[in-house]
Amino acid sequence: MEYSHDTISAISTPLGIGGISVLRVSGDESINIVSNIFKSKTSLKDQQSHTAIFGRILDAGKLVDEVIVTIFKSPHSYTSEDVVEISCHGSTFITNQILSILLRNSRLAEPGEFTQRAFLNDKIGLTQAEAVGDLLTAKTKIFHLAALEQYEGSLRNRIEKLLSQLTKFRTEIELEIDFLENDLDELDNEKLIKGLTKLQKELIQLAKTGEEGLIIKDGLKVSLVGAPNVGKSSIFNSFLETERAIVTPIPGTTRDYLEEVISLNGYLVRVFDTAGLRETTDQIEKIGIKRSYEIIEDSHKVLFVVDGDENKKEYDILTKLVDADKIIKILNKSDKFDESELSKFAKKGYIICSTIENSGLSELKNSLLHNIEISEEELHSGILTNTRQIAAVTKAAQSVSKALESIENGMGYEFTAFDLKEASTALEEIIGKVTSDEILNNIFTNFCIGK
C-alpha cells in the first residue's frame, strides 16, 4: 500500500456531551498547524516530546476554547510521526469547530488511518493493529484479555516461531537442491518427515483456537428450541433476569425470534428465543420459523426444551440441522413432576429446570460454557481471533501436508520447497510481512475515524 505523508486530523472521542473531547493530528506539519491556532505562555514548537501545555484555541483572533495540547514527536508517537492531541471541553459544537479549523490545513483521517500509519511505519505489527480494533469493541473481560495479549505480541510471537521452523526446513531442502552434485550429506528423509509432521500438528492446533477465538470475539450463539408453550421464553427471561420476552399461555406467541446478549463468566453469550420447529398455515409465523431454522443451524449450542412430552419428532428434525453434541436437553417445569419422573429424564441426559422455583439454571449456564473456556495461559500463548487469521493458518497447514506427500511419494524436493514456501507466505500474511491493499483495507475500514 502506498504511504501518504500528508497531515491528517480527526476527533478521537465519541461525539456527545462529556467532560472533554480529544482531537488528534498526525503528520509532518501537525505541530506547525496547531501552533498557528494555539496560544500559550510558551511556544508549542519549542516543547519536548510528551509535553502537555495549557492554552487557548483562537480563530481569527477570537477565543474558541481553553484546551490542553499534548505533543508527541517522531518517532516516539503512536503513528511514529509528529502527533498533537487537543483536549477541549466536551461539547459537540466546540469539538466540531476546532476540527473545522484544523481541516483548513490538513485532511480528515480515513477510518483507522492513525493505526494504519503505525503499521506502515513499523510501529506495530498487523496482528497488533487488529488487536487495537478488538480493544475498541471489547464487551467482556475474556475478550478484553485476549485483545490485550494479542496487542502485547502473543500471536505474533507464536507465528514467528512457526515461521522460523519453516525457514529451517526450507533452507535444508534448498541446499539439497542447489548442491545436489556436491559431496554434502544427504537429507535424512525420516527426520525431515518427523519434523514437518510435528509442525503440521502445531499449525492444526493453532487453527483450532480460531473457533474459540471467534466465540470470544463475536459471542457464543445459543438457540432455545421446543414445542410451543414449553417455557422457552421463561428460560430466556431467566437468563436475562428481566421480562424481555412476552410470556403467555397461548401457543405460538414467539412468531419471530428474539435476541439478547448477556455476559456469562466473562464470555459474551447471544441468546436466541426462536419461533420453534413446527408446521403452520400462518404466513407470518412461517417466516419466523424459517428464520429459526437459519439461526439454529448457525448456533454453537441449542437448548432443546420439553415440559414432559419428549417430542421425539421435533428432536429428530433438530438433529438433522445440528450435530447432537451441540444439543443440550432440558426438562422445564420440573415443579410439576414427582421424583421418579424426574429421575427418568435425568438418566436420559436432561437438565432438570424450573423457572418458577429458579432451579437448575446454574447447571444450565455451566453446561453452555463446557469445553469452550480458555485459560489465561492459552491466551498468553497466542490464539486466532478472526476468519482472516484462521484461513491463513489453515492454508499453511494444508501446504505442509502437501509437502509431506511430495516427500513420501518421492516427487522431488522442488515440489516440497514450493509447498513450504506457500506455507511461509500464508503465515507471513498474518503478521503483515506480506500484505495486499485488500487485506489492509478490510482491516482498517472497520475502525472508527479517530483511531
Shared-domain flag, residues 335 and 387: no
For the four alpha carbons of 254, 257, 262 and 265, in that order, the dihedral sign comes to: positive
Q: At 275, is the pLDDT very low, low, confident or very high (cuts 50, 70, 90)?
A: low
pLDDT, tens digit, for every residue of 21-70? 999 999 999 999 999 999 999 889 889 999 999 999 999 999 999 999 99
Instruction: Encode pLDDT of 13-29 as tens digits.
Output: 988 888 999 999 999 99
> What pLDDT, on a 0 to 100 scale, did the predictor assign at position 252?
46
Q: Which pLDDT band, with edges at 50, 70 and 90, does 247 fall under?
A: very low
DSSP 360: S
| Range with the poorest average pLDDT among 1-5, 143-147, 148-152, 267-271 | 1-5
Predicted confidence at residue 288, as pLDDT, reads 63
Contact between residue 72 and residue 31 where contact means Cβ atoms under 8 Å apart: no
CATH code of 102's domain: 3.30.1360.120
Task: Give the pLDDT of residue 315.
Answer: 85
| Structural Rg of the chain based on CA atoms | 29
CB half-sphere exposure, 254, CA atoms < 13 A: 30
pLDDT at 390: 95
Residues 246 and 354 in one domain: yes
Mark which of 124, 145, 170 sits at the end of a domain.
124
Final residue before a domain boundary, out of 347, 368, 389: 368
Residue found by looking up cell 502473543 in the block: 154
pLDDT confidence band for 281 (50 / 70 / 90): low
Q: Using one digit for the tens of pLDDT, what is the confidence trace for 141-183?
A: 888 999 999 999 999 999 999 999 999 999 888 887 766 555 5
**Which grid coordinates are listed for 400?**
505442509
Q: Which domain holds residue 337?
A: 217-368
Name the pTM for this structure. 0.78
* Domains in the chain, number: 3
Do 50 and 141 belong to one domain? no
The 10s digit of each residue's pLDDT in 99-111 is 999 999 999 999 9
* Domain closes at, from 102, 124, 146: 124
Task: Note whether residue 172 is domain-resident.
Answer: yes
